[in-house]
Structure 1
Amino acid sequence: MNALVEPHHDGGLFGRPLFEDPSARALARVGVVDVGSNSVRLVVFDGAARSPAYFYNEKIMCALGAGLSDTGHLNPTGRTRALGALRRFQRLAMGMGLSDLTVVATAAVRDASDGADFCADVERDTGLFVRTIDGREEARLSAQGVLLGWPGSYGLVCDIGGSSMELAEISGGIVGRRETSDLGPLKLQTVKGGKKGRTAHIKATMERLQAAMGTQRDRLFLVGGSWRAICKVDMHRRGYPLQVLHEYRMTPKAVRQTAKFIAAHEDHEALRSACGISSTRMALVPLACEVLVRLVKTFKPKDIAISSYGIREGMLYEQMPQRLRDRDPLIEACRFAEAKDARMPGFGKLLYAFIEPLFKSAPQPRKRLIKAACLLHDVSWRAHPDYRAEVCFDNATRANLGGLKHSERIFLGLALLHRYTNKREGTHFEELYDLIDEKTKVEAEVLGKAMRFGAMLWMDKDANLGEFRWYPKKKQLELRLAPNAMPLFGEVAEARLNSLAASLQAEVTVKQRKR
């Protein structure tokens, strides 16, 4: 049985929240540093261990790998900047109460003749031990980062850095074959023969990678700053309304169109500014486009997804016990949010059980979103009542949550919006609604109004509220309230129930149960 939906006797359909377990809470705050060819980045993860929040995230562009192909050494200026960044990060970690930082260095440090000297300087100055990893290990960690957000996924993970590009296959939560190459944009700048020589080099390298990796026509997961920059340009070209990179989808045709769009754009500075890309990154984007076009042409993926999770998230995943890895990141994050911010933690489980009869025929992926909505239904109660509905929508659609497609973000956001208001028209989010079809909008509205009514029966997390009985063919909704819930069924609750019935296009009757 799929680990995401395996029933547990102590937690129902989605299991018991593991973030309450001491072994999971031990991962509550974890600091990792990635010393790359372009940048040095510190990320401190905090929150539910399976789906952590980013407590702190800082990147310093150092360009350690600039000129490496010509000199064989780390860029001197970049080396100085990187050492300064690591001194800063070590001091920040002390201030945050972190017992340790996990530091890894990738292509630039492993390829440079003075890479070991640099690591020794870091350890002498900061006390930090830098673990230099080879390309295959880098590929494995990046793939694990993808699995943090997409447990059980299958496909090909492609991580591009400044000096290298790695491939790894994933299937059923396991990382398989892995390969590395020199197709990072900084390395490509030094290939002789101009664009013609570069094209030949990319093609030959990609053919070697294909021979090693075999046929990979499932989903392609793109990891790395250069891919994310291309994604931002694709969003800009399409006028895409939801500016969330994680789980953004591109087609092979879109990749080709965006590459042509970038090549034809004479004013890269204006394009960079419009898309929110740094000048250092933008300089590498045209070269990364050449690689991506050839990658897609070679491996012919059926689907392309952008992953904001990569090597740093893979380093966190490395520290997780398997039982934690197997859990649903969305549900765990929502449980943590409820425990931290809801007025009555635990009521979300009761609310889900109460409204679930309205969605008995819903497929498992939809029930998962319904569960998430119930857990989140009260976490924004501190927002001003006039803006609470919009705050809920904004939080759901833009929050750093794993395991959510963009369409699922909109569904979840609309459901939570309708938790606080009957109408969705008149907000400044309306252009986002078109990312889902009309039927899905109505389903989100029904869910939101069901939660809106259920919240009126708020007693305690173990209360006996009663039950819904829903007859979709007859369009009849029956509410059977427990005796102790009847006093809560006042005028406002009745109005909310009638609003729910209207969205279902149903007649409603209310009865009192004997017990």
Structure 2
Amino acid sequence: MLNLVSAGWESVKTQPVQQHRIIAAIDLGTNSLHMVVVKIDPTLPAFSIFTREKETVRLGDRDLVTGDLKPEVMDRAIATLKRFQAVAKTFNAETIIAVATSAVREAPNGKDFLHRIDSELGLSVDLISGQEEARRIYLGVLSGMEFNNQPHIIIDIGGGSTEIILGDSQEPRTLTSTKVGAVRLTGEFITTDPISNSELQYLQAYVRGMLERSVEDVLTNIQFGEFPRLVGTSGTIETLALIDAREKLAMMPSTLNGYQLSLQDLQGWVNRLAKMTNVERTAIPGMPEKRSEVILAGAIVLQEAMTLLGVDSVTLCGRALREGVIVDWMLTHGLIEDRLRYQSSIRQRSVLKQLSKYQINIEHSDRVAVFALSLFDQTQGILHNWGDDERQLLWAAAILHNCGHHISHSAHHKHSYYLIRNGELLGYTETEIEIIANLARYHRKSPPKKKHENFRNLLSKNHRQIVCQLSAILRLAVALDRRQIGAISQVKFKYYPDVQEVYLSIFPSHPDDDCSLEMWSLDYKKGVFEAEFGVRLVATLESVKVAVN
């Protein structure tokens, strides 16, 4: 049983006593598909693991010419996911959270693959960026290891990427993701068996060069007098720790969590693995099936990272992305509260960071967000049935809708889409970022259209409906602060279903202001709202006295 209080969390005190929750988390990695099924006790808060499942599918084994995921690999993945669903069902899991990382993210047909999973299995899989993957790995490690407020460096070597993170249980200071992974490197650089000296030297130099930027980002955020411990997670490091422990202890250890592998021993293993054929590596005691093919490349990544970081050992943590997905779900669903402020506000902090970066008028953006959320709340259950998740996306879009001005005033709504889409917002999935970017894109000018590539990028009809309806609300909110001076204090909504009419009562901030520009803008922009919701909108300016009453 893992107690999250020791990791800096506490149970939400305002929540009523809740029953145990059972959920499953799936990680569609470049090398393997993993699932963990857990029971959450919201009163502690804590979760215990029922089962772990793993299948080596090799999504990273893509078509060398097109970069597409191969049909036979996708078939294997879908068969594995179907099996995972059946296992989760036997434990009565109420939901399955699934995320996909670099292999699916980079494949041109990656989104088609996710569409297929959704249509065949009814399973929604979220794409996450490299930085978001690093953030959730941090959450997973933090949930399984006591940091004691001391800085730790976390390294996670996957099949397609390597994440290096610096954190201290309060917040990650650095989140990095580099496109070097065990499967990727093996496929691109190793053609001989055993590896030739020239390929080995080139591979080591390439990995060193690729990791330098990430390591530099980490080292610059370590303060004077701090000596962070290196923590390693996931398959490559687990395997290296396992074969090292088996050789030293002459037996299978009961747990590898906390096992320390020295740089000196690692270098010894790299030298030995480089001289072996794949068949010989397969025979090493403790070597998992199919891991032998990619273990050398993964070991080189760890060796070069440790050398660049200047550390002499790595400590294994058995928790990583999958557990981080569980913790993130618990946070977003109010089952735990971050006492140290970081996790629960990551979305807000990330959005506000972008706001500062692009020099957006924060007062105007905040007013637009207030109007947008007010209209959302007043029309909820009447014109739409979206919930808190969609409300959060609308807030982010309202805050960032004008960021495109950073590039140019002309067509700034299109620039806003680009900046948001490529801004690495943390705490959001790729799908959620796509929705936010589209909402901002359609705060003015043309409404959403199927011919627009950005609108077609949305994964499902449901996502497109979110954009159509909430962007219509955002348009009205922008109109209500047309002069960007706070001329309007509030807006009240009333719906008359028998005549399909919506009345908006607009209250000015000053009694002598007729708000003519805002009223004109509202009238100009209401057409999209009327078409989307099938209503007629009538806006009237009320007196300040009425607003007070």
Residue 195 of structure 1 and its aligned partner are, at CA, apart by 2.6
Alignment of 1:241-252 (within 5 A): 242-252=253-263
CA distance in 2, matches of 1:190, 1:281: 14
Match in the other structure for 2:265:
254
Structure 1 residues 248, 21: closer, same or farther in 2, change over 3 A? farther
Q: Residues 219 and 302 of structure 1 are in contact (CA less than 8 Å); yes or no, is this contact kept in structure 2?
A: no
Q: How many residues are treated as equivalent by the alignment? A: 316
Aligned to 1:29: 22
Residue 194 in structure 1 maps to residue 199 in structure 2: yes
The equivalent of 2:136 in structure 1 is: 141
Q: Which amino acid aligns with 2:80?
A: A
Aligned counterparts of 1:183 and 1:5: Cα–Cα separation in 2: 30
- Letter aligned with residue 107 of structure 2: A
In the alignment, does 2:203 pair up with 1:208?
no
1:316-343, CA deviations, whole angstroms, 9 ceiling, x for partnerless residues?
111145866669xxxxxxxxxxxxxxxx
Counterpart of 1:309 in structure 2: which amino acid?
R
- Which amino acid in the other structure matches residue 41 of structure 1? H
Q: Deviations over 1:59-110 (max 9, x none)?
A: 1211111135553111322110111122222333334322221010001000
Given residue 233 of structure 2, which amino acid in structure 1 is its aligned partner? Answer: V
Which residue pairs with 1:236 in the alignment? Answer: 246
Counterpart secondary structure, 2:206: helix
Q: Which moved more, 1:84-93 or 1:59-68?
A: 84-93
Are positions 1:98 and 2:93 aligned together? Answer: yes
Number of the residue aligned with 1:275? 285
**Equivalent position amino acid for 2:185 in 1:** L
Whole-angstrom distance in 1 between the partners of 2:283 and 2:14:
45
After alignment, is 229-238 or 31-40 more displaced?
229-238
Q: Which residue of 1 aligns with 2:34?
A: 41
The equivalent of 2:234 in structure 1 is: 224
Structure 2 residue matching 1:163: 3-state secondary structure: coil
Specify the alignment match of 1:431 in structure 2: none
| Structure 2 CA distance for partners of 1:246 and 1:20, relative to 1, 3 Å | farther
**2:47 equivalent among 46, 52, 65:** 52
What letter matches 1:132 in structure 2?
L
What per-residue deviation string (whole Å, max 9, x for no partner) do you get for residues 32-82 of structure 1?
111111111221012646443321221121111113555311132211011
Identity fraction in percent? 22
Note if contact 1:246-1:306 (Cα within 8 Å) is conserved in structure 2: yes
The one-letter code of the counterpart of 2:178 is S
- Contact 2:22/2:94 (CA < 8 Å) preserved in 1? no
Q: What is the CA–CA distance in structure 1 between the aligned matches of 2:88 and 2:335, rounded to whole Å?
A: 27
Deviations 1:117-142 (A, max 9, x none): 00000111111111000111111111
- Alignment partner of 1:154 is 2:151: yes
TM-score, normalization: structure 2? 0.52
**Equivalent of 1:63 in 49, 58, 67:** 58
For 1:147-186, what aligned pairs fall within 5 Å after superposition? 147-152=142-147, 154-186=151-183
User: Residues 215 and 305 of structure 2 are in contact (CA less than 8 Å); yes or no, is this contact kept in structure 1?
Assistant: no
| 1:35–1:106 CA contact under 8 A, matched in 2 | yes
Cα offset, 1:211, TM superposition: 2.4
1:113 aligns with 2:93: no
Question: 5 Å matches for 1:417-496?
Answer: none
Deviations 1:294-349 (A, max 9, x none): 1110001254211110001001111145866669xxxxxxxxxxxxxxxxxxxxxx
SS of residue matched to 2:217: helix
The alpha-carbon distance between structure 1 residues 257 and 322, as it changes in their structure 2 partners (threshold 3 A), is farther
Shift of 1:223: 1.2
Partner of 1:71: helix, strand, or coil? coil
> 1:263, 1:286 within 8 Å by CA — same for their partners in 2?
yes
Contact 1:24 1:324 in 2 (8 A): no
Q: Quick one: distance in 1 between partners of 2:312 and 2:7? A: 26
Conserved? CA contact 2:134–2:164, under 8 Å: yes
- 2:93 alignment partner, SS class: coil
Deviation of 1:197 (Å):
2.7
Letter in 1 for 2:117: V
1:438-467 deviation digits (Å, cap 9, x = unpaired): xxxxxxxxxxxxxxxxxxxxxxxxxxxxxx
Q: Alignment partner of 2:60: what SS?
A: coil
Match for 1:286: what amino acid?
Answer: L
Q: 1:163, CA displacement in angstroms?
A: 1.0
In 1, distance between residues paired with 2:228 and 2:17?
32
Unaligned runs of 5+ in 1: 7-14, 328-515
Distance in 2, matches of 1:235 and 1:92, equals 31
Correspondence for 1:513: none
Kept in 1, the 8 Å contact 2:163–2:178? The answer is: yes
Q: Pick closer, same or farther for the CA change 1:47–1:205 going to 2, 3 Å.
A: same
For 2:302 and 2:67, locate their aligned partners in 1 and report how far apart those are by CA, in whole Å: 26
CA–CA distance in structure 1, aligned partners of residues 153 and 64 of structure 2 = 28
Task: Could you tell me which runs of 5 or more consecutive residues in structure 2 were left unpaired when the two chains were aligned.
Answer: 190-197, 341-549
Structure 1 residues 75 and 194: alpha-carbon distance in aligned structure 2, compared to 1, 3 A threshold: farther
**d(CA) in 2 for partners of 1:147, 1:306:** 13
Give a deviation string over 1:2-29, Cα, whole Å, max 9, x none: 97499xxxxxxxx9x9699976855631
- Contact 2:7–2:146 (Cα < 8 Å) also in 1: no
Counterpart for residue 298 of structure 2? 288
For residues 38 and 272 of structure 2, the distance between their equivalents in structure 1, rounded to whole angstroms, comes to 36
* AA of the residue aligned to 1:293: Q
Q: What is aligned with 2:391? A: none
Corresponding letter in the other structure for 1:307: C
User: Kindly tell me: are residues 51 and 230 of structure 1, through their superposed partners in 2, closer, same or farther at Cα, counting changes over 3 Å?
Assistant: farther
Q: Distance in 2 between matches of 1:269 and 1:245?
A: 25
Q: Per the alignment, in what secondary structure is the counterpart of residue 85 of structure 1?
A: helix
Q: CA deviation at 1:268?
A: 5.4
Q: What secondary structure is seen at the aligned counterpart in 1 of 2:174?
A: strand
2:93 is aligned with 1:81: no
Shift in Å, 1:210: 1.9
1:263 correspondence with 2:264: no
CA distance in 1, matches of 2:57, 2:184: 16
SS of the equivalent of 1:189 reads helix
> Take 1:261 and 1:239, find their aligned partners in 2: how far apart are those partners?
19
Backbone CA RMSD of aligned residues: 3.2
Aligned to 2:449: none
Deviation of 1:255 (Å): 2.0
Amino acid at match of 1:211: E
User: Is the contact between residue 135 and residue 175 of structure 2 (CA under 8 Å) also seen in structure 1?
Assistant: yes
TM-score computed with the length of structure 1 as normaliser: 0.56
Cα separation, 1, equivalents of 2:7 and 2:104: 42
Question: Is the partner of 1:177 in helix, strand or coil?
Answer: strand
Distance 1:3 1:263 in 2: 44
Q: Which amino acid letter does the alignment assign opposite residue 216 of structure 2?
A: A
Q: Could you say what secondary structure the match of 1:275 adopts?
A: coil
